[in-house]
Amino acid sequence: MTLTEAQQVTMPWDGALFDGTWKAAASTVDVVAPATGQRIATVGAAGVDDLDAAVRSATEAQKTWAALTYDQRAKVFRRASALLAEDPDRLVRWLVPESGSGMGKAQFEVGLVVAELDECAGITSLPYGELLRSSKPRLSLARRVPFGVVGVISPFNFPAILSMRSVAPALAAGNAVILKPDPRTPISGGLALAELFAEAGLPAGLLHVLPAGADVGAALVAHPGVPCLSFTGSTAAGRAIGQAAGPLLKTVHLELGGNNALLVLPDADVDAAASAGAWGSFLHQGQICMTTGRHLVHASIAQEYTAKLAEKARHIPVGDPTDPANPLGPIIDERQRDKVHALVTASVEQGATLAAGGEYDGLFYRPTVLADVPKDAPAFTEEIFGPVAPVTTYETVEEALEIINSSEYGLSVAILTSDAFKAFELAAHIDSGAVHINDQTVDDEAVIPFGGVKASGVGGRFGARASLESFTEVQWVTVQSEIERYPF
């Protein structure tokens, strides 16, 4: 799994950007593994001039791509899916060191990418319009047409799938794409995906990958040649993008943060609940928008639940994820680690009890359980984005629902109980884009309309037909056999 210097120099993105071919960049940036601090690659660093050139190229290439028949476009996605399914290590070997993914998480993520490619092959053949009634003797129809060029800005945590979830459906709908991956994960979040598409036969100029910082991101948001934007990241950054794009009257899809609640009802199996809670809070070091950030446990079982959850936390190995024995790897960088620790420390100072963890070695933060967390403590009210499980008790279901809905976020909620139908009835009273009954909060599939409400997202949804609607706009067309005559 460790990348040697000899392996690095054979990579096509060495010092390069992607515009359908590998193009030498004017400047470069080192890609560093957070677990070791070692350089694992050097890639091209894009500037605003590179963005302008990419938009011009993409605008021209998109016209030919959109004119292809659906089966010609579908062939690219089927081929890309097959290539990745045959050789998942082409992506795993970058996800593990670059994003700090445990081996299991990386393999799971590759499976999500394969499923997304498969689903997008099907998107190309979906009905893309409807016949409409008209008061005139004419044909009246509404059809979905591509925007032209879609800008995608993706995050570091699940870099491959959170890039592909926008890139693939946008391409399938007939658009070209400019992708700016997070500068900490430019390979697994962009360049390795570009290599896959190129090998699958995607025509040159349709996908551009520009590793860059915030300056190029801001230029992408403001660019007049990019009418649609898809951003996945923090709520704070999403608000800034929405504010910048609003006056430009662009279509903007924002998939943002979450502070997701796990509601454990008093009749739940405590052993099973603790297992679900541990997975929801600790998977990929808690660096997931759907991570379980609030454990709401009925007072009658809270002590037992917390003890079981803490026991699990104490026995989860944490270390360099290139060792398959370590399911959890590092926090992405020191800034994020310090934020996580500050939230834990401040919450303990406000009255929470440290039941497990609360310690780190370098970027390796121990899975942490906080008991008796006050409802106004920062670990309970804020998105942590770290391996922390805050536990708070409640007495009545009404109280629990009020706590859940009091958050500004609304991405994912889970309910654990022996009465699934009762939980289904409760779901109608929860402000959330997803509600999972007898599962934890982290879940996604290529075939579902994924997205949040409130501060967790705005704009289109991802998945199946929702993706087609997100990356196209409606055109109304009428047809008459003769020219209409008017009294003028």
- In total, the chain counts a number of residues equal to 488
Provide the 10 A C-beta neighbour count for residue 274: 27
Q: Which two tokens stand for residue 133?
A: 């009634």
Provide the 10 A C-beta neighbour count for residue 80: 27
Contacts of 445 (CB under 8 A, 6+ apart): 115, 463
Question: Phi/psi of residue 198, each to 5°?
Answer: -60, -45
Degrees, nearest 5: CA angle 115-118-121: 150
Is residue 289 part of the annotated active site? The answer reads yes
Is-contact 324 314, C-beta < 8 A? no
Rounded to an integer, what distance in angstroms lies between the CA atom of residue 198 and that of residue 217? 24
Is residue 255 part of the annotated active site? The answer reads yes
End-to-end CA distance of the chain: 77
Q: What 3-state DSSP class applies to 24?
A: strand
Is-contact 100 332, C-beta < 8 A? yes
Is-contact 349 378, C-beta < 8 A? no
- 402-431 b/e with 16+ CB inside 10 Å = b? ebbeebebbbbbbbbbeeeeebeebeeebb
Degrees, nearest 5: CA angle 173-177-182: 130
Provide the 10 A C-beta neighbour count for residue 78: 17
Q: How distant is the alpha carbon of residue 295 from its chain centre?
A: 22
In the set 289, 382, 383, 469, the catalytic residue is: 289
Q: Give residue 391's identity as a one-letter amino acid code.
A: V
In the set 255, 382, 383, 469, the catalytic residue is: 255
Is-contact 46 27, C-beta < 8 A? no
Q: How distant is the alpha carbon of residue 393 from its chain centre?
A: 30
Which residues form the catalytic set? 255, 289
